[in-house]
Structure 1
Amino acid sequence: MGDVVLSERAGKTLSITLNRPEVLNAIDVALAEALAVAVEEAADDAVRCVVLRGAGRAFLAGGDITAFYKDLERAGGVADAIITPFHRAIEGLRRLPKPVIAELHGAVAGAGLSLALAADLALAAEDTTFTLAYSAIGASPDGGSTYHLPRVLGLRRTFEVAALSDRFGAKQALEWGLINRVVPAERLQAETAALAERLSNGPTAAYGRLKALLAASIGDVLPDQLERERRAFVEGAAGEDFREGVSAFVEKRRPQFHGR
């Protein structure tokens, strides 16, 4: 995987760090491929929470435009070589049956915003700036942003964000529902770590069923979604965490979940 993406496990949490700080973690072929591999490795049952972060001054400032500029005649091929593994990573994150947290700071642009949207929760430093950015270079979005943004912002706001590529801050992102919390920059890592610790000690299998139910709800009619919920609950009721949760409730103590 090389060093353009770093994977580090602390307890039950896996941190995936984009590591091209000299270019604000701009995504090229090597980073996209390494990210896809890291996400696949996060499927390990010992991992119960995943944190996405960027090294240096930014989370991810979009695509590496110089990669296109160096070979404009083959720009489509270069784009495909980046987007294909990047999309594998995005889909992998959404399918992971465990929580994914995006820890955002600095620039969150283009593919960076797409990646942040693929996480289940997002915390941002107060000075974080966001932009979808694609239209600024005459491109259409990728990374699932045209899937996720309309579901959060609606069609009109999404078109505005995508077509104008204006920058907006963490406060606006919070008001729009794009992120969950805004924290002082100096507290970002500590706040993320505390949330990851809480989630990594939670009922991981139940979180996985929750993610699957929410994903299915987008296209389901109510009777189908009700049936999905019934099956998920019944399946979970046979699990170790459910038995522990019920016992802890009745016995008036804190549950000790093991993710099963």
Structure 2
Amino acid sequence: MENQFVQLTIQNHVGIVKLNRPEAGNAIHLEMAKELMDVAIFCSESEEIRAVVITGAGNKFSVGGDLRSFAEKGEQISSHLKSVTAYLHQAISYFTRMNKPFIGAVNGVAAGAGMSLVCACDMAYAAEHSKFVMAYNKIGLTPDGSGSYFLPRLVGMKRALELMYTNRPLDAKEASEWGIINHVVAGEQLFEVVLELAENLAKGPMNAYGETKKLFYHSQQETLESQMSKESVVLAERASSIEGKEGIAAFLEKRETDFLKERVTSK
């Protein structure tokens, strides 16, 4: 895609999304938010893409919203922010709801909406020099980009409020201990490690990934019995799907699964 602020390349069935305003710390302004939404739609719909990695250009992941561009709107700042967040939130919704794994490669500071975006990833790996800070309350604002949804679910309510009220920054090790990221990786190895992970996942059962993701997210609002009922229905559907049949056959035949075969890519 010919975008200026959010670049997309495809490698071995992996969509690599790069936030591309390094001179501004990959701060999110209206144009970037819109491009991110367009890229998210493309990734969610593309049959070639089976996993998605998101990272930042330069030495930062994203410092969050572009406050300078917001302030320039003067009295129109409220309506402007509604436009920015409409695009940003739709992008996050597409990334989160798609069947494909959504993996963060956090290559530096993730602040504000940048940290919210990390929290929205299915998995996230971070370079050892990365920093994480919510930053909103420090300037009298409240979270966006799904931060108020995912952060309490990842770290618990008291820790989430601590991060919001105090603007305490977390280093990569602490972010891993708190459950915000999965693993800390040496900076020079980060993208290689994440890309290898994504390429391996891209060979897997994409539709099973998607159904698993739905089960996990919906479990927050279900009772034990209603969740187990959902599990029973989805498991039965998956067992009779083309992916399920391939997986079971491969297990019984003592061979590797091949979910990339044309006959296995449909539901």
TM-score range, shorter chain: over 0.9
Deviation readout 1:80-121 (Å, 9 max, x if unpaired): 121111010111111111100000011100000111111100
Give 1:124 deviation, angstroms. 0.2
| 2-structure distance, mates of 1:225, 1:68 | 43
Amino acid corresponding to residue 117 of structure 2 in structure 1? L
Give the match for residue 209 of structure 1: 211
Give 1:49 deviation, angstroms. 0.2
| 2-structure distance, mates of 1:239, 1:178 | 33
Amino acid corresponding to residue 123 of structure 1 in structure 2? Y
Give the match for residue 2 of structure 1: 3
Amino acid corresponding to residue 148 of structure 1 in structure 2? F
Among the aligned pairs, what percent are the same residue? 37
The answer to whether structure 1 residue 160 and structure 2 residue 162 are counterparts is: yes
Give the match for residue 16 of structure 1: 17
C-alpha RMSD of matched pairs (Å): 1.1
Give the match for residue 31 of structure 1: 32
Give 1:55 deviation, angstroms. 0.7
Deviation readout 1:33-85 (Å, 9 max, x if unpaired): 10011000012222110011111111111110101222332221221121111
What are the ranges of 5 or more consecutive residues in structure 1 without an aligned counterpart? none
The answer to whether structure 1 residue 85 and structure 2 residue 87 are counterparts is: yes
**Paired residue for 1:138, among 122, 137, 140?**
140
**Paired residue for 2:238, among 230, 236, 239?**
236
Does the residue aligned with 1:218 lie in a helix, a strand or coil? helix
Give the match for residue 182 of structure 2: 180
Pairs within 5 Å for 1:57-68: 57-68=59-70
| 2-structure distance, mates of 1:68, 1:11 | 38
Deviation readout 1:153-197 (Å, 9 max, x if unpaired): 111111010111121100000000100010000100110111001
**Paired residue for 2:54, among 44, 52, 55?**
52
8 A contact 1:213–1:229 mirrored in 2: yes
Give 1:145 deviation, angstroms. 0.7
8 A contact 1:100–1:120 mirrored in 2: yes
| 1-structure distance, mates of 2:186, 2:59 | 15
TM-score, with length taken from structure 2: 0.94
Q: Tell me the number of residue pairs that the alignment of Structure 1 and Structure 2 aligns.
A: 260
Deviates more, 1:59-68 or 1:233-242: 233-242
Does the residue aligned with 1:77 lie in a helix, a strand or coil? helix
Amino acid corresponding to residue 192 of structure 1 in structure 2? V
Amino acid corresponding to residue 145 of structure 2 in structure 1? G
8 A contact 1:67–1:78 mirrored in 2: no
What are the ranges of 5 or more consecutive residues in structure 2 without an aligned counterpart? none
Give 1:237 deviation, angstroms. 1.2
| 2-structure distance, mates of 1:137, 1:74 | 18
8 A contact 1:53–1:59 mirrored in 2: yes
Does the residue aligned with 2:62 lie in a helix, a strand or coil? coil
Give the match for residue 121 of structure 1: 123
Give the match for residue 169 of structure 1: 171
| 1-structure distance, mates of 2:24, 2:157 | 32
Does the residue aligned with 1:41 lie in a helix, a strand or coil? helix
Does the residue aligned with 1:42 lie in a helix, a strand or coil? helix
TM-score, with length taken from structure 1: 0.97
